Amino acid sequence: MPPAARLTDMHTCPMVTGVVPHVGGPIAGPCSTNVTIGGLPAARVTDKAVCVGPPDMIAKGSPTVQINNLMAARIGDNTVHGGVIVMGFPTVIIGEIGMGGAQGATLKAAAKSGAAFCET
């Protein structure tokens, strides 16, 4: 499961405009206004990224984790220019691997029944 991407985390870009390579650069946002990861706004699909050419955009994210109704971006996710997010916050992992054991069974049963995961 890959680490979460955030505002200012880097991506690479393989595109070239004429003879000028785009190279890539930091995720520029807007990113989430109310979800932070390691003190920085969380990156999501459709957030922009700096390129030497026209701005790039995050194209792929987690199909199972959404932030503000957009897929959460992670290391290894693709951009519109064909690049890849290469930096993220190493202690926040976002992924699709299912949980096993008693915890996983409990969460699956709660989801199936519609029961509250936690009460406030």
Q: Tell me whether residue 119 is in a domain.
A: no
Q: Consecutive 10-residue runs of the chain (120 residues): their mean pLDDT?
A: 96 94 95 98 98 94 96 98 97 76 69 69
Place of tokens 């290894």: 76
**Are the C-beta atoms of 85 and 7 separated by less than 8 Å?**
no
Q: Exposed, middle or buried, 95 (CB in 10 Å: 0-12/13-18/19+)?
A: middle
Q: Tell me whether residue 120 is in a domain.
A: no
pLDDT tens digits for range 57-70: 999 999 999 999 99
The CATH number of the domain where 36 resides is what?
2.60.200.60
Read off the tokens for 9: 């985390």
Identity at 101, one-letter amino acid code: G
Q: What is the span of the domain harbouring residue 41? A: 3-113
Read off the tokens for 103: 């915890």
* pTM attached to this predicted model: 0.79
